[in-house]
Structure 1
Amino acid sequence: MENSHISALSAKHAGLDARIKAETSRPMPDTTLVASLKKQKLRLKEEMAAQH
């Protein structure tokens, strides 16, 4: 069960990473959105670290 939870968190982390890359590659990225996505990504990373 714990392994599947970590896998789900990892998938969400990768999805956020893709969204950040897509947004920052636009001509005029939404810096507020990018900051929000980065905070979400950090929270997921911290949660994954706590699972180990």
Structure 2
Amino acid sequence: MNDTELNQIIADVLDGNTEQFEKIMEIYQKPIFLYCYHMLGNYAEAEENA
């Protein structure tokens, strides 16, 4: 997904189309979890914070 597509999805979410938020979650959920796991060193805590 490029920046233009992401910006459009964000604009749609801000306009009330909350179903589009799922697309953002699909993109960023795993990287955020991996970052939390790296920083916390604990799988369960990373799940809670991601």
- The TM-score by the shorter chain falls in which range? 0.3 to 0.5
Bigger radius of gyration = 2
Q: Under a length normalisation based on structure 2, what TM-score does the superposition of the two structures give?
A: 0.44
Q: Under a length normalisation based on structure 1, what TM-score does the superposition of the two structures give?
A: 0.42
Q: Which has the higher contact order (CA 8 A, sep 6+)?
A: 1
